[in-house]
Amino acid sequence: MEYDVIIVGGGNAACAAAVSARENGAKKVLLLEKAPKGQRGGNTHFSGAIFRFVFNHVDELDRFVPNAEEEYPGFRAGVPTYPHEAFTDDLMRVTDNKSDPELSKLLIDESYDTTCWMQDVGKHHFELAKSVMGIKVGDKIKWPKGAIVRTVHEGVGLSQQWFKTCEDMGVEIRYEAHVLDLSMDGQGAVRGVKVRGHKGLETIKARAVILGSGGFETNPAWRTHFLGQEWGHAKVRGSNFNYGDGLRMAIDAGAMPWGHWGGCHATPIVASAPDYGRKDLTDKTNRLSYPYGVMINVEGNRWIDEGVDFQAFTYAKYGGLILKQPKSLVYQIFDAKSMHLLEPRYSTSEPFKSDTLEGLVKQLNVDHEQAMKSLKEYNDNCGHGGPFNAAVLDGLHTEGIDPPKTNWAQKLDTPPYVSWPVTGGITFTFGGLKIDKQARVISTGWKPIPGLYTCGEMVGGLFHYNYPLGTGLMSGVVFGRIAGREAAKEAAGGKAKGKPATKSAVKKVAPKKAAAKKPAAKKAPTKKAAKPAKKAVKKK
């Protein structure tokens, strides 16, 4: 049996590609998931499921969170808009201006419409990510820019709904299907895959193949080779099936490695976290409220500016830097003034606790004398500027010490004092494959490999050194949607079957009374499936 499109992988990007392929006329679509059904979903299951996307008017959020004003009075007046320029600035700032300009434009341009498509075609439901992104200031919730919406039930709900939509649309899904290699014809086009499954080894034919099988974060040999020695024993936050199989087979077929192969997304997690992601814990091992406290290493030293920016723009980098500290261990320390600012995930493990700083430090596996010296130095030199405001870069800073603390530099002077031991957990790797705007994999000869597409964590070039929270999942759906559409087109001989896909109709959801007089949301323009994504508006 020959399929129109085969998708390798079972996470957010792979499922988006499968749905898009069916939507765009591919009749026989096969999704191959290496994991057993009970462990399906890749890293998606373990995610917070936050999506960062452009919106120019608050009205454009109504379709996703129609009850926001009712649940959080003042929401519409307080939430900051997130235009194209803001998303671009955030992405370029945290990646040292190295994000692939063509792919980043496409990601940002398509982000809002693709989220609408998730709702309309993928049948996903959304909510405000209050527990992670909302900051309570007085009796109001303050929201950051861009990344404030997530799918209901977070990564668990995101993964479950993708599989339900795939099944409802007639995508065939095979579990415990370990794809070993690509099958190529005499012309060098990819026309299937070689699989080890319940039937043993078999070659399954297809007119196009989409690789959406993630990075190499589970592979200790590759981690050590590409990322460094300290990554050999790193805890894996998510799936224990991502060994880089898709990357290997694509490179063996002549694909061009692209992007930051020495970089990855790594997160501060509680030191007692398991070696691999546990389905019942999902992302609850994260410890991301460090901007409101201090971090010391086992030598008793503060080692980084905890408040250089909001956690959404530092956590993916700081996780890796923690691994480079002695014993890959640091301690986050807070006093009673900051406890209400800690995200709820901290409650999933017990901290060290004491009514005095000295009593707290004695419980930690650190150089006690040096730790007390570091904390006294911090307390003696913080509190300049301000006033303290957790919802903005408040400028409350230290003076005369190294490292400094740029924002939120309050004294540790109010008992009880608490501390969580933290290490770095790897989420996904940044190194991937070079693709074009049609998600076609480019060879080392600088030409597309016929029949081969990729999406998700396998896309190289978007992220370097760091990444803004909520951008990885958004990228997965944007490029998964494109890959599915273009693969369906190739399977049809270059002409899309069935009715062409268009831009998702932006259905206006009637807001509640508090927002009833606001102007109507702008409708997204239509777009034929056979065309590449719309041209980006030039950056100012």
Cα 453 to the center of its chain, rounded Å: 21
Q: Where do the domains of the chain lie, and which CATH numbers do they carry?
A: 2-263+430-515 (3.50.50.60), 265-425 (3.90.700.10)
Of the chain, the percentage scoring pLDDT greater than 90 comes to 86
Identify the weakest region by mean pLDDT among 302-316, 398-412, 501-515. Answer: 501-515
Say yes or no to pLDDT of 496 above 90: no
Total Cβ atoms within 10 A of residue 247: 28
Q: How does residue 539 score in pLDDT terms, banded at 50, 70 and 90?
A: very low
Cα 60 to the center of its chain, rounded Å: 22
Q: CA-to-CA distance for 202 and 183, rounded, in angstroms?
A: 11
Model-level pTM?
0.88
Q: Report the pLDDT value the prediction gives residue 495, as an integer from 0 to 100.
A: 55
- Supply the mean pLDDT for the chain: 92
Q: Which residue has the tokens 């409708």?
A: 523
Q: What are phi and psi for residue 73, nearest 5 degrees?
A: -50, 135
DSSP-assigned letter for residue 255? B
Q: Is 347 exposed, middle or buried (0-12, 13-18, 19+ CB in 10 A)?
A: exposed
User: Hey, what are 474's tokens?
Assistant: 């958004």
pLDDT digits (tens, 9 = 90+) for 260-295: 999 999 999 999 999 999 888 889 999 999 999 999
Residue 451: its H or E element: strand 448-454
Amino acid at 533: A
The mean per-residue pLDDT over the stretch 158-165 comes to 98
Q: How does residue 512 score in pLDDT terms, banded at 50, 70 and 90?
A: very low
Strands 50-51 and 149-151: antiparallel
DSSP-assigned letter for residue 499? S
Q: Report the pLDDT value the prediction gives residue 138, as an integer from 0 to 100.
A: 79
pLDDT digits (tens, 9 = 90+) for 171-213: 999 999 999 999 999 999 999 999 999 989 999 999 999 999 9
Say yes or no to pLDDT of 51 above 70: yes
pLDDT digits (tens, 9 = 90+) for 422-476: 999 999 999 999 999 999 999 999 999 999 999 999 999 999 999 999 999 999 9
Q: Report the pLDDT value the prediction gives residue 294, as an integer from 0 to 100.
A: 98
The mean per-residue pLDDT over the stretch 312-319 comes to 95
Say yes or no to pLDDT of 499 above 60: no
Q: How does residue 30 score in pLDDT terms, banded at 50, 70 and 90?
A: very high
Say yes or no to pLDDT of 337 above 80: yes
Q: Report the pLDDT value the prediction gives residue 279, as an integer from 0 to 100.
A: 86
Of the chain, the percentage scoring pLDDT greater than 70 comes to 91
Q: How does residue 134 score in pLDDT terms, banded at 50, 70 and 90?
A: confident
Say yes or no to pLDDT of 506 above 60: no
User: Hey, what are 375's tokens?
Assistant: 């904390």
The mean per-residue pLDDT over the stretch 313-320 comes to 95
Of 457, 431, 421, 451, residue with least CA distance to 332: 421
What are the DSSP E strand ranges found in 352-447?
352-354, 417-429, 432-433, 440-442
Q: Report the pLDDT value the prediction gives residue 199, as an integer from 0 to 100.
A: 87
